Amino acid sequence: MANAVEVTDDNFAAEIETYEGLAVVDFWATWCAPCRMIAPIVEALATEYAGTVKVAKLDVDNNTKTSARFNVRSIPTILFFKDGKLVDQVVGAVPRPALEAKFKEHA
């Protein structure tokens, strides 16, 4: 993921909750087939919105505290934070237009 940062339980607050602007976090796991399906879409949007939107990925298997804190029960789950506050979410492998619409809505 060239244009997405990896976040963890340890750096989530610093990377996402103190970020001014739109931050999008993809909650995923290596074994998750739908996560692998949506990953190229997330990467493409990260490239297109570079400098405007911060895109991050969080591995749910290695970061259970943050996943539990935001009640992530299904993956992929993509959370949208505006100025550090959770404002929206997308659950499941959705088509690119649906995900891009959320980027445009909040950016």
Gap between the Cα atoms of 107 and 103, Å rounded:
6
Residue-wise DSSP of 35-93:
HHHHHHHHHHHHHHTTTTEEEEEEETTT-HHHHHHTT--SSSEEEEEETTEEEEEEES-
Distance between CA atoms of residues 37 and 34, nearest Å: 5
Q: Which residues are catalytic?
A: 32, 35
